[in-house]
Amino acid sequence: MTDAYSGRCWRFGDDLASDQLIPPQHVFEYDPAVLRRHLLAELRPELSQQAAPGDLVVTGRNFANGSNHSHPFLAMKEMGVGLICASISRGPFRLAVFMGIPLLVAGAEIIAQLGDGDALRVDFATGDIRNESTGRRFTVEPLSPFLLDIIAAGGGLTYARSLLATEGTDHAKR
Amino acid sequence: MPATLAEKILARASGRDRVEPGEVIWVTPDLVTTPEVSFPAYVKRLRDNGIDRFALPERVVVAIDHEVPVHSREGAERNRLTRQLARETGVGHLFDGEGITHPLVIERGLVRPLSFVAAADTHTPSLGGVGALGIPFGIELTMILATGRIWVKVPETVRVEIGGRCPPGVTARDLVLAVMTRIDADLANYRIIELGGDAVAALSIPERMTLCGLCVDMGAKSAVTEVDERCVAFLAERGVADAAPVRSDPGCRYAEVIAFDASTLAPQVSIPPSPTHVRPVTELAHTAIQHAYIGSCASGTLAELSAAADLLEGRRVHADVQMLVIPATRRIYQQAMEQGVLARLSAAGAMVSPPTCGPCFGGLAQLAAGEARISTSTRNDPGRMGSRDATIYLGSALTVAASAVAGRIADPRDFLPAERKDIAP
């Protein structure tokens, strides 16, 4: 990934539960190509077909609450989309980073200015959010450089592999 | 700058003098724990990603605790694979049917005050009872196994100051349920709960572990209690040398301070759909139950088994109730056997099983639709113990034992003999 994403805004509401993102009957499915077909399919059947890398899923508060499943993030990674939400609790936040999904948390008043179908440009390293359809621009707290490194590597395990390749396990000593 | 206990632990684990809430830091866990239900899947995931060794295998604890004795073919294969992979990866400890991970690592002296412990399993915050910080990481444990370290956002601490003493019949479980009624998920999220005050100081170390372990169910990242001389002595008996008392510095910053008095509390019960739905036991009297369970990582201590056996003395489990008791570790099982506690429980009509997480997540003694159980375990989500149409209530070992006798949810204070009423187990 680069630090910035440009694409379409896919706008959703508050309290999207993990089980709503991907229905729980797919819990034993781990193929990202299959999972992307189910991501938010009940709310937006066209998402899987039309989402393009660089697009942004934009939601209200409490994204991916409930079951701590990695499936929605596997599907988002397959689509190549980033995330902006009004709030996200610890479990799904960590999962998003581990799976390599770039994300920003923005106030509800900013989310309200990002409409479905708007063209967005989002820099995760600086926290800069531009709505190119309306010309409005917002700044939020950026992702920590640590977490950007993990996401840029493609997630926790690919990050771990590259870390081991360059440093061995010396970093674990203290 | 004064620091909270959790900040001291994270500073130590990151090799720094101090850390600030909100910072993202790298920490190197002192101990990494995983049960058999996760371990083989983690190793496979690592190998699929080209990682075939652990950075610090000597710090890794693998415990076969969820399905003991094994009672499914897939469990048998999982256990076989767990033993094989534990050997191949050279982990420091493989505990095979020795008990439930969290009480077990304390019992075996593997956790010290100020230790940072990363776990696969949710209820590791119980390690806070010895002034350690246990944090659940789930699938991210793979990254910790591979690299020996993990990122943590330094959390703020909420201080809970509990004055007074628990009255008779009121236990650590009732205390933590009282905390749950005062802290909602928004306050708990991404924060550490620090419990202190006279009522906490009066608790035994296993009781403090109950207190800390259940804080995760109100949405906290973890929980911790102060390390006093009583804790130091407890750890010394388990082989932890040179531990010293430690607590938050005076003047440290808390996100919020919540204070209440234990001496006015009554026994409480969690009703579905989650542990935070707390009601006084008196409100639920006459609720019929068909199952009663004492056990889990949040319970199943020797003191609780003894207290339940005392309450059952001269009484019998109700004819319509199946009562199951599971000591949390094999050592507790052994002690309870030697002290005659298991014999007394059995004589009163309870079944006793070997140490396992079993019923807590529906792996053993499942419930049928329409049935109700009162339990000392950790969670009561619909479907957790079998049918989604079964009902799970959570309470103290005393409340469970009293209810088992009555065949309905009962107030344990009505069952305490006059001469024992000054003892709060």
**pLDDT per residue over A78-96, tens digit each?**
999 999 999 998 889 999 9
Average pLDDT estimate for B352-380: 95
Q: Which of helix, strand or coil describes residue B162?
A: strand
**Chain B residue nearest residue A166, CA to CA:** B147
pTM for the whole structure: 0.92
pLDDT of residue A66: 77
Average pLDDT estimate for A142-148: 92
pLDDT of residue B418: 66
Helix pair angle (B205-213, B302-312), 10° resolution: 100
Mark yes or no for CB contact B142/A68 under 8 Å.
no
Q: How far apart are CA B324 and CA B305, in angstroms?
A: 11
Mark yes or no for CB contact B51/A164 under 8 Å.
yes
Among residues B45, B100, B314, B116, the alpha carbon closest in space to that of B108 is found at B100
Q: Find the length of chain B.
A: 425
Q: Please give, rounded to a whole number of angstroms, the shortest distance from the CA of A144 to a CA of chain B.
A: 7
The amino acid sitting at B19 is V
Residue B381 has pLDDT above 60, yes or no: yes
Mark yes or no for CB contact A174/B15 under 8 Å.
yes
pLDDT tens, position by position, B57-85: 999 999 999 999 999 999 999 999 999 99
Mark yes or no for CB contact A164/B146 under 8 Å.
yes
pLDDT tens, position by position, B155-195: 999 999 999 999 999 999 999 999 999 998 889 988 999 99
Q: How far apart are CA B370 and CA B360, in angstroms?
A: 18
Of B24, B137, B139, the CB nearest to A144: B24
Residue B417 has pLDDT above 50, yes or no: yes
Give just the sign of the alpha carbon dihedral A59, A62, A65, A69: positive
Residues of A with a Cβ under 8 Å from any B Cβ are 68, 70, 89-91, 94-95, 97-98, 144, 146-147, 150, 156-161, 163-164, 169, 171-174
Residue B422 has pLDDT above 60, yes or no: no
- Distance from chain centroid for Cα A116: 16
Average pLDDT estimate for A29-50: 93
Average pLDDT estimate for B367-391: 94
Q: How far apart are CA A71 and CA A68, in angstroms?
A: 9
Torsion angle defined by CA atoms of residues B249, B251, B252 and B258, in that order, rounded to the nearest 10 degrees: 110
Q: Please give, rounded to a whole number of angstroms, the shortest distance from the CA of A5 to a CA of chain B.
A: 23
pLDDT tens, position by position, B212-254: 999 988 889 999 999 999 999 999 999 999 999 999 999 999 9
Mark yes or no for CB contact A169/B147 under 8 Å.
yes
Mutation site, B149, B150, B216, B388, interface A, largest A CB count within 10 A: B149
Contacts of B299 (CB under 8 A, 6+ apart): B173, B210, B328, B376, B377, B397
Strand B24-27 and strand B150-153: the pairing is antiparallel
Q: Please give, rounded to a whole number of angstroms, the shortest distance from the CA of A134 to a CA of chain B.
A: 33
Q: How far apart are CA A111 and CA A13, in angstroms?
A: 10
pLDDT tens, position by position, A112-130: 999 999 999 999 999 999 9
Mark yes or no for CB contact B151/A68 under 8 Å.
no
Cβ pair A5, A54 in contact under 8 A: yes
Residue B292 has pLDDT above 60, yes or no: yes
In order of A96, A98, A127, B183, B413, the CA distances from A152 in angstroms are: 12, 11, 16, 37, 59
Mark yes or no for CB contact B147/A172 under 8 Å.
yes
pLDDT of residue B34: 97
CB atoms within 10 A of CB A82: 25
Of B139, B143, B153, the CB nearest to A70: B139
In order of B22, B102, B112, B182, B191, the CA distances from B62 in angstroms are: 31, 11, 18, 36, 27
In order of A107, B7, B14, B21, B73, the CA distances from B1 in angstroms are: 31, 11, 17, 13, 56
Q: How far apart are CA A114 and CA A109, in angstroms?
A: 9
Residue A1 has pLDDT above 80, yes or no: no
Mutation site, A63, A67, A98, A141, interface B, largest B CB count within 10 A: A98
In total, the C-beta contacts within 8 angstroms joining chain A to chain B are 71
Residue B105 has pLDDT above 70, yes or no: yes
pLDDT of residue B425: 47
Residue A74 has pLDDT above 80, yes or no: yes
Cβ pair B194, B256 in contact under 8 A: no
Strand order in the sheet with B278-280: B278-280, B268-270, B391-394, B372-375, B291-294, B322-325, B351-352
Which pLDDT band, with edges at 50, 70 and 90, does A2 fall under? low
Q: How far apart are CA B381 and CA B362, in angstroms?
A: 11
Mutation site, A18, A69, A94, interface B, largest B CB count within 10 A: A94
In the numeric block, which tokens belong to residue A89? 């609790």
Of B45, B51, B221, the CB nearest to A90: B221
Residue spans of beta strands (DSSP E) within chain A:
4-11, 56-59, 82-85, 103-105, 119-123, 128-131, 136-139
Residue A28 has pLDDT above 80, yes or no: no
Residue spans of beta strands (DSSP E) within B164-203:
191-196
Residue A169 has pLDDT above 80, yes or no: no
Q: Please give, rounded to a whole number of angstroms, the shortest distance from the CA of B118 to a CA of chain A.
A: 14
In order of A81, B225, B330, B390, B413, the CA distances from A55 in angstroms are: 5, 46, 54, 44, 61
Residue A97 has pLDDT above 90, yes or no: yes
pLDDT tens, position by position, B130-148: 999 999 999 999 999 999 9
Mark yes or no for CB contact B138/A68 under 8 Å.
yes
Which pLDDT band, with edges at 50, 70 and 90, does B316 fall under? very high
Residues of B with a Cβ under 8 Å from any A Cβ are 13-15, 24, 26, 28, 45-46, 49-51, 55-56, 137-140, 142-143, 146-149, 151, 153, 189-190, 219, 221
pLDDT of residue A166: 86
Count, in order, helices (H) and strands (E) of chain B. Answer: 15, 18
In order of A1, A123, A156, A161, B54, the CA distances from A164 in angstroms are: 21, 28, 12, 5, 10
What are the phi and psi torsion angles at B277 (to 5°)? -85, 90
Residue A56 has pLDDT above 70, yes or no: yes
Of B55, B138, B151, the CB nearest to A147: B151
Q: Report chain B residues whose CB lies below 8 A from the CB of A174.
A: 13-15, 28
Average pLDDT, chain B: 95
Locus of tokens 């010396």? A170
In the numeric block, which tokens belong to residue A52? 């393009």
Q: Which residues pair with A83 in a beta bridge?
A: A57, A103
The amino acid sitting at B203 is L
Q: Which of helix, strand or coil describes residue B121?
A: coil
